[in-house]
Structure 1
Amino acid sequence: MTSSMEKSKFKTVQEVIATGEGIPERYLYKHTDDSEGQTLNVPVPEILTIDIPTIDLHSLLSSSDDGREELSKLHSALSTWGVFQAMNHGITEAFLDKIYELTKQFFALPTEEKQKYAREIDGYQGYGNDMILTDDQVLDWNDRLDLLAYPEDQRQLKFWPEIPVEFR
C-alpha cells in the first residue's frame, strides 16, 4: 500500500504538464505486442476506448415493450459497467452548456486554488486524481472533482468551489 504521505505528495495532471516532465510511469499501461515481443508504454486513455451503454430515459418511463427493453438494458449497464450515459433526460442544452463552462473555468484555475477543495485521503468527494490503492496501480490521466449532489444530507459543501461564483 502507498502511504498517506506519498498519496498527499502525488502531483496532479496539471502540475505534471506544467513542469514538462513527461508522462510518469504510473499513467502508462504496459502492453506487450505478441507479434514482436515488445513492451509498449501506452497512456491509459488511448488503450481503453470503450462504448459506455446508453439509456433512453424517455423510453425507460414508457409502459410499452420499449420501456421493458430499456429497463433490461439499464439493469445490464448497471450490473456490468456500473455506469451509463443518459439520453432524452429533459435537461436543457443551455443548462448543460453552463455546467460545462463553469467546469472549464474551475479546472483552468491555478492548482493552489483547486487544492482548497482537495479530496481527503481515503475520501470520495473533492478535487484530486485517482485514489491510490496499490503500489502498482495504473492511474487515469485526469484530475477530477467528485461532488455528491443528492441526497442533500450527504452533500459536503466544503468541496464545492466558491470560484467560479456561479458554481455552487
Structure 2
Amino acid sequence: MAEARTNGSLPVASVQELAKACNGVADGQVPERYLSKDPTSAEEAVVVAGDDDEGACAIPVIDFHRLLDPRSSEVECARLASACRHWGFFQLVNHGVPDEVIGNLMSDVAGFFEQPLEDKKECAQQPDSLEGYGQAFVVSDDQKLDWADMLYLQVQPIESRDTRFWPTRPASFRHSVDAYSSEAAKLTYRLLEFMAKGVGADPASLRGVFEGQAQGMRVNFYPPCRNAADRLVGLSPHTDPNGNGR
C-alpha cells in the first residue's frame, strides 16, 4: 500500500459506536450506506473450486513444514505453484510464527479497539494519508461502506514509520508490532523463494522484487450488529497491490 502517503480517505463515523447505538435499542437503524442489497433478492452463486487432492470446495492449503522438508518439498512446491497459478491465494499452515508473537499482537490490537473513542482518535487518519485509525478509500459521501473500523500502519522499513498514527496504549503495542512484522517478513521472503522455485525461476529472483519494499499492517474490527447482520459486509471485495519487477 505504497500510496498511503499521498491518498487520503474522507472521515466517517466509528462503526463501533454505530453498533452500540443500533444494538442498544430494539429499533436501532443501521445507516443505509452500510447496507448491502436486500438479502431476498437474487444473487449470483459463488463457486469455490479447490486443489486436486482436497476436494472441489476447498481453498488450497500449503504446509510450510512440508516446503522446508527435503523429502516433501518438491511435491509441496508444485502444489504452491498450482495454487498461485489457478487461485492467486492460499492458506498457509505450520508457518512457524510463534504463537506468543501472534497472541501478543492480537491482544494489543484488541486493547486498542477497546479504548474509548476519543483515545482512539489520537491515532486518526489525516487528509493526506491512509495510515491511522478510520476507514480506507472513502472517496464520496454516498458510497457504500464496510461495517468495520480500521487501523493501518506502515511498519517497515522502520525509518518510514509515521509515529503520529502509532498507538501508545497498550504500552506494549509497538513492541508487539515489531516482533510480528519481523517474523512475517522472514516468512514472506522464504515463501517467495519457494514460489519462484515452483514456477522454475531463480529462487532469489522473486525475493529480490520485494526486498526493501514497504511493509504495511492493516487490522480491522468488525462489531456485531444483530439488527442487520445479513446485510452488512465487513470487508468488500478488493484487489491488493502487486510487486513490480525491476
Query: Could you state the TM-score of these two structures normalised by the residue count of structure 1?
Result: 0.69
Q: 2 CA distance for matches of 1:134 and 1:53?
A: 37
Residue 24 of structure 1, aligned match among 25, 31, 37: 31
Q: Give ranges in structure 2 of 5+ residues lacking alignment.
A: 1-8, 23-27, 49-57, 175-246
Could you say which residue in structure 1 is the equivalent of 2:79?
Answer: 69
Q: 1 CA distance for matches of 2:14 and 2:123?
A: 13
TM-fit CA distance, 1:125: 1.6
Q: 2 CA distance for matches of 1:136 and 1:60?
A: 47
Rate the CA distance shift 1:138–1:64 in 2: closer, same or farther, 3 A.
same
Tell me if the contact between 1:122 and 1:131 (Cα under 8 Å) persists in the aligned partners.
no
TM-fit CA distance, 1:119: 1.8
Q: Secondary structure at the match of 1:147?
A: strand
TM-fit CA distance, 1:142: 0.8
TM-fit CA distance, 1:97: 1.4
TM-fit CA distance, 1:152: 2.8
Tell me if the contact between 2:16 and 2:149 (Cα under 8 Å) persists in the aligned partners.
yes
Residue 113 of structure 1 pairs with residue 119 of structure 2: yes
Residue 12 of structure 1 pairs with residue 14 of structure 2: yes
Q: 1 CA distance for matches of 2:116 and 2:139?
A: 27
Tell me if the contact between 1:149 and 1:155 (Cα under 8 Å) persists in the aligned partners.
yes
AA paired with 2:32?
E
Could you say which residue in structure 2 is the equivalent of 1:88?
Answer: 94
String of CA shifts for 1:117-166, please: whole Å, max 9, x gaps.
Answer: 11223522211124213454321111011122223333222211001100
Tell me if the contact between 2:67 and 2:76 (Cα under 8 Å) persists in the aligned partners.
yes
Residue 165 of structure 1, aligned match among 158, 163, 171: 171
Q: 2 CA distance for matches of 1:84 and 1:115?
A: 35
Q: Give ranges in structure 1 of 5+ residues lacking alignment.
A: 1-5, 36-47
Give the percent of matched residue pairs that are identical in Structure 1 and Structure 2. 34
Bigger relative contact order, structure 1 or 2, given CA contacts below 8 A and separation 6+?
Answer: 2
Residue 99 of structure 1 pairs with residue 105 of structure 2: yes
Between structures 1 and 2, the one with greater strand share: 1
Query: Could you state the TM-score of these two structures normalised by the residue count of structure 2?
Result: 0.49
Tell me if the contact between 1:55 and 1:70 (Cα under 8 Å) persists in the aligned partners.
yes
When the two chains are superposed, the root-mean-square deviation of aligned CA atoms in Å is 3.1
Q: 2 CA distance for matches of 1:127 and 1:52?
A: 31
Q: 2 CA distance for matches of 1:29 and 1:18?
A: 20
Q: Secondary structure at the match of 1:96?
A: helix
Tell me if the contact between 1:16 and 1:22 (Cα under 8 Å) persists in the aligned partners.
no
Could you say which residue in structure 2 is the equivalent of 1:144?
Answer: 150
TM-fit CA distance, 1:113: 0.8
Rate the CA distance shift 1:65–1:85 in 2: closer, same or farther, 3 A.
closer
Q: 2 CA distance for matches of 1:124 and 1:54?
A: 32
- Aligned residue-pair number: 145
